[in-house]
A and B are shown apart, each in its own frame.
Chain A
């Protein structure tokens, strides 16, 4: 990873990567106003792996879109590394649920994309992309186009692409939701591994309780109408986490109740 270069201006170390104060968002469709997010306050520390969990309509994706700079909040204050958000930036990497790889670029070129936009030299880009493809476990896939890759491989490339500009914050919007259970759990392990090696701050949105419990250092549970935080739990389960352990299941039941599921599946 030594070849990696900082594209984004380095954050002031004393500023938290994410700080929201009374953040809210109202979608104004023709038929009326819907409060997607109502007064959310949240501070996330550097290097934390945070999962945001909740049913659909709880505002978790809205929160992520605001942090990514895709939408501007209706009210409240949000700062990333102490600065206001003025649109998308390579300082905040995003991994989407849908396969958002550029189909016209090879895996290698997809990973290089952020560096290319920053005007980096070809050799440097190639080196970084090779390192990252190795990191996500696809050292041989560089020359392949997205259509030649499986769903799980595409999401690995998407993660590598998001990491290439060394974002201080990695925003992940249900990145494994479209994958089958086996691929999903292998990618979860891979992501934990990457987090341990690279220590990016990760905000990972999911509606899957088990996934959140496997991944997160800290779990934010949200609830709809309006979207708000109902629980903020530090998850101290030892890693690697076993889904069959008693502690895991107790936590699972607790979280299931918090999001309004009467009985755990």
Chain B
């Protein structure tokens, strides 16, 4: 096992080195224009100098702030509305057609409208990110609350649960695996919308860095922007995963232990980590 793992690691490192080596060689060979395809070493250099001047930090800071504010506000609203709609049938009946309608429109299509309404400042970007984040989280929260194991609710009721305690200790945690899956999808959505909004007009931000670099023919800096975005996406996912493991040690564990448990336990679907894509695909039925 260890040997195989090592071998595949070695293969991965070799593959990566070969890729960047070939790229470096190609850029320096004169076969392609080095301005159009700068060598990895050139990109690393310009990245380093952007870092030293503090310019990169400024762009990154601006992007992160927007992403965080948009993500938090969008998810909080989505969870609140998802829970409310699952609990109050009349509210669901009243709002569901609207939400489904808005959900069908790709959130990137709202970029021009948001800029028209809110200008190119922070408001439009935070709004757009929140808008994009809202739908995956809302769908999952709604399904999570609606489809959580009825046995939990019976057990809770027979133990005297009602009101806010029932909500805080049963309804919300029972839906949590679904909510977490929705939040996870929304992380990448937030990044996509962030970049689109910044490309469309901004004074700072990683997307703006890419856009500006294009206008001054600094392809090397465009690559730096791409790399920063990649690192942002990877770190966000990594930190999210770590936080979930720490805060909810039971999350996902049920699935792993499910292998050795025979019988009804395995069918306790809500405790199994949900595949977000399936969730999204299934929403048509709830409409």
Which residues in A have their C-beta under 8 angstroms from that of B170?
102
Q: Is B265's CB under 8 angstroms from A99's CB?
A: yes
Which residues in B have their C-beta under 8 angstroms from that of A118?
160
B contact face: mostly helix, strand, loop, or mixed: helix
Q: How far is the CA of A117 from the CA of B249 in the complex (A)?
A: 23
Q: How far is the CA of A151 from the CA of B263 in the complex (A)?
A: 10
Q: Is A116's CB under 8 angstroms from B154's CB?
A: no
Q: How far is the CA of A90 from the CA of B157 in the complex (A)?
A: 8
Interface size class of B (residues with CB under 8 A): 20 to 34
Q: Contact check: which of B151, B254, B256, B263 meets A96 at CB < 8 Å?
A: B151
Which residues in A have their C-beta under 8 angstroms from that of B263?
151, 178
Which residues in A have their C-beta under 8 angstroms from that of B257?
147-148
- Known contacts A104-B173, A104-B248, A147-B253; is A98 also within 8 Å of B159 by CB? no
Q: Contact check: which of A92, A94, A104, A178 meets B250 at CB < 8 Å?
A: A104
- Known contacts A69-B158, A89-B160, A90-B158; is A146 also within 8 Å of B250 by CB? yes
- Bitwise interface map of A from 90 to 132 toward B, beta carbon under 8 Å scored 1, else 0: 1011101111101111000000011011110000000000000
Q: Is A113's CB under 8 angstroms from B169's CB?
A: yes
Q: How far is the CA of A97 from the CA of B263 in the complex (A)?
A: 11
* Nearest CB of B to A94, in Å: 4
Q: Contact check: which of A98, A147, A164 meets B151 at CB < 8 Å?
A: A98
Which of B152, B160, B173, B248 has the most A CB atoms < 10 Å from its CB?
Answer: B160
Q: Is B160's CB under 8 angstroms from A100's CB?
A: no
Which residues in A have their C-beta under 8 angstroms from that of B159?
90, 93, 113-114, 117, 161-162, 164-165
Q: Is B155's CB under 8 angstroms from A96's CB?
A: yes
Is A139 at the interface (CB under 8 A from chain B)? no
- Bitwise interface map of A from 70 to 95 toward B, beta carbon under 8 Å scored 1, else 0: 10000000000000000111101110
Q: Is A151's CB under 8 angstroms from B265's CB?
A: yes
Is A248 at the interface (CB under 8 A from chain B)? no
Chain B residues with CB under 8 Å of chain A are: 151-152, 154-162, 165-166, 169-170, 173-174, 176, 248-250, 253-254, 256-257, 261-265, 268, 271
What are 9 A-B contacts defined by CB distance under 8 Å?
A: A70-B157, A89-B160, A94-B158, A98-B268, A100-B154, A104-B176, A145-B250, A147-B257, A162-B158
Chain A residues with CB under 8 Å of chain B are: 7, 68-70, 87-90, 92-94, 96-100, 102-105, 113-114, 116-119, 145-148, 151, 161-162, 164-165, 178
